[in-house]
């Protein structure tokens, strides 16, 4: 049972545009995160942050920036993989079973590299570990 809608050439063009836009957005956010975390660090360093309570909140802020940066880098890598798949013509097919991932799933998650059944299988295997 795999009654998902396959992709057409025009859909592929749309997804390529979506992915390119996503990539630009992620890059901009990454830049913002770097600037933000630099500022937080600089504030601690320059002694602008006077008491330890402030310092810990700035450190926390810096940690948040780092976690967010890490998340953005992972997202960016996924977008790059998806764009490569567009270029090689394998975009929209499941990397595990080779079936169509389906328009609906790709619309909600353009970087998806597996069909829903395979993704669910992966997640249930992960949960067991």
**Rule CB under 5 A: which residues touch Zn ion?**
94, 96-97, 115, 118
Q: How far is the CB of 106 from Zn ion (least distance, A)?
A: 13
Q: Are the CB atoms for 7 and 103 separated by under 8 Å?
A: yes
Closer by beta carbon to Zn ion, 59 or else 96:
96
Q: How far is the CB of 24 from Zn ion (least distance, A)?
A: 29
Q: How far is the CB of 120 from Zn ion (least distance, A)?
A: 10
DSSP output for 29-84 = HHHHHHHHHHHHHHHHHTT---SHHHHHHHHHHHHHHHHHHHHHHHHHHHHHHHHH
Closer by beta carbon to Zn ion, 64 or else 119:
119
């Amino acid at each position: 049972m795999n009654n998902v809608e396959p992709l057409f050439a025009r859909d592929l063009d749309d997804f390529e545009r979506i992915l390119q836009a996503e990539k630009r957005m992620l890059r901009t956010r990454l830049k913002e995160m770097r600037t933000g975390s630099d500022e937080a660090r600089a504030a601690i360093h320059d002694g602008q942050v006077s008491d330890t309570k402030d310092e810990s909140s700035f450190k926390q802020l810096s940690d948040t920036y780092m976690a967010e940066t890490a998340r953005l880098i992972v997202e960016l890598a996924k977008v790059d993989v998806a764009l490569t798949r567009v270029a090689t013509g394998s975009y929209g097919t499941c990397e595990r079973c080779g079936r169509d991932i389906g328009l609906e799933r790709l619309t909600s998650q353009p970087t998806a590299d597996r069909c829903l059944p395979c993704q669910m299988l992966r997640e249930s295997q992960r949960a067991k570990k």
